[in-house]
A and B are shown apart, each in its own frame.
Chain A
């Protein structure tokens, strides 16, 4: 069923607002003393987790498109990818501001010495590379290579999960849930599985 164009633009704006809302919510909590005695760390952890959510959501859009053929999903892919980059950059900014206290020398030594920081930085650099090449001009310029390049998102997800794993302290449950979702999304891009998604759509359609 074709959607009216105005609905699709509303959808895009709606997604933009939804991605912005958590930041406003956390800011409001901090302003109202509801974020505990260490608001900087509260922001750091929440924004980091938000970045992971956005990355997972971005990667779910292609399978969802295959499953539903709804145009709306592919329409927000670049936006969500850029949101993931924005959240990841803010996550780093929180670390530098609130954990290191703007001590740049220490940032240098942390980047060199701490494996989980190295992995996190690599993931951020990857997202920056994808962000820079997310425009139409780059797509035209890179041609077929663009798709290959942007599949690096899966490698970035792997790095992010590793970064997270190294921070897990006493209970694996939360990490395992994210890792399972990540693994599922990767599996859905394996060609034989990926090919079954449109068929699945037909079957759902017929049985309905």
Chain B
């Protein structure tokens, strides 16, 4: 096997940084500094008051509180540094090509079958090492924070990627309000279990031990890029995209971004995530996007940016931490990412 050992300096080495990337980096630094003050991405180069015009995006029957928050959202609070390459995927593709095994293993299964998921009312349990836990309605979770739109690259572990405009709130906000105790080291997330609503959970031959579980280190979860999405393309999340509440961690492979969350627990021990449980040699706890570390069955050096066509496969180089290295590489300084994949 061809193994290229990455020098530690590789993470920081980059070509001349385009101005927009520099600006977005500054914004994150600002965000980091302002964490305590509720994460104001002030002075953003792109943020706008105006809701972008999402053509051909079907509207949904959103509750009033959602519409109010959406109308007050900060649009394009985070945008890709290279808009020419990172074009937003059409809504039909982002909502028609999904991995959501609770609704089947085919890419179009979730879009066809997720209609049975009931997302209103929805509540989330926040528990574990927190002073301010309990069961919260979705509105309770959303209401103290301002909605933001973040246009992130989503890199699937299967070597394809899309650019998606999410609408939601910072994960750090929610965790801070729960007041983690000093024992809290990790955040563990759980998806709904309800075989009546989720046909994939009725299969007797499923390898996943439901509920689907994911986890982050507390500092990863508190990073300003970590996001809880409730909408996309200026509307509510479609069920197949993880309605009504999903995680988005753009520098990690997509499977970390757990969908339809019902429980968020602050814990002391590293949680065992669902894919790790099935195949620890293929899926690690960190699952940071890393072109240098192959999946045992395929290379992670490149990705197919979707949508593509038969005549243009749109294969592009995968970037370290999915192109968010400037923001997140410091979380992993001193760690061997080949071991902690």
A residues lining the B interface (CB < 8 Å): 30, 36-41, 43, 97-99, 101, 106, 109-110, 112-114, 116, 166-167, 169-174, 176
Which residue in chain B gives the minimum CB-CB distance to A176?
B205
User: Which residue of A39, A169, A173, A176 has the most chain B CB atoms within 10 A of its CB atom?
Assistant: A169
Measured CA separation A97–B107 after assembly (Å): 21
10 contacts between A and B (CB under 8 A): A36-B93, A36-B96, A37-B93, A38-B97, A40-B313, A101-B302, A112-B1, A114-B298, A170-B200, A171-B203
Interface of A is mostly: helix
Specify which chain A residues have a CB less than 8 angstroms from the CB of B315 in the assembled complex: 101
Measured CA separation A138–B120 after assembly (Å): 68
Number of A-B contacts (CB under 8 A): 80
Specify which chain A residues have a CB less than 8 angstroms from the CB of B297 in the assembled complex: 114, 116, 166-167
- Check B203 against A37 for contact (C-beta < 8 Å): no
What is the minimal beta-carbon distance from A19 to any residue of chain B, in angstroms?
A: 22
- 8 further A-B contacts with Cβ under 8 Å, apart from A36-B96, A170-B208, are A37-B93, A38-B304, A97-B310, A98-B313, A109-B299, A113-B1, A170-B200, A170-B207
Which residue in chain A gives the minimum CB-CB distance to B90?
A37
- Check B208 against A38 for contact (C-beta < 8 Å): no
Specify which chain A residues have a CB less than 8 angstroms from the CB of B107 in the assembled complex: 36, 38
Specify which chain A residues have a CB less than 8 angstroms from the CB of B307 in the assembled complex: 37-38
User: Given A109-B2, A113-B1, A166-B297: A38 and B207 within 8 A (CB)?
Assistant: no
Measured CA separation A98–B302 after assembly (Å): 13
B residues lining the A interface (CB < 8 Å): 1-2, 89-90, 93, 96-97, 101, 105, 107-108, 160, 162, 200, 203-208, 278, 296-299, 302, 304, 306-310, 313, 315
What is the minimal beta-carbon distance from A175 to any residue of chain B, in angstroms?
A: 8
What is the minimal beta-carbon distance from B210 to any residue of chain A, in angstroms?
A: 11
- Check A169 against B299 for contact (C-beta < 8 Å): no
Which residue in chain A gives the minimum CB-CB distance to B308?
A38
- Check A173 against B299 for contact (C-beta < 8 Å): no
Measured CA separation A99–B160 after assembly (Å): 10
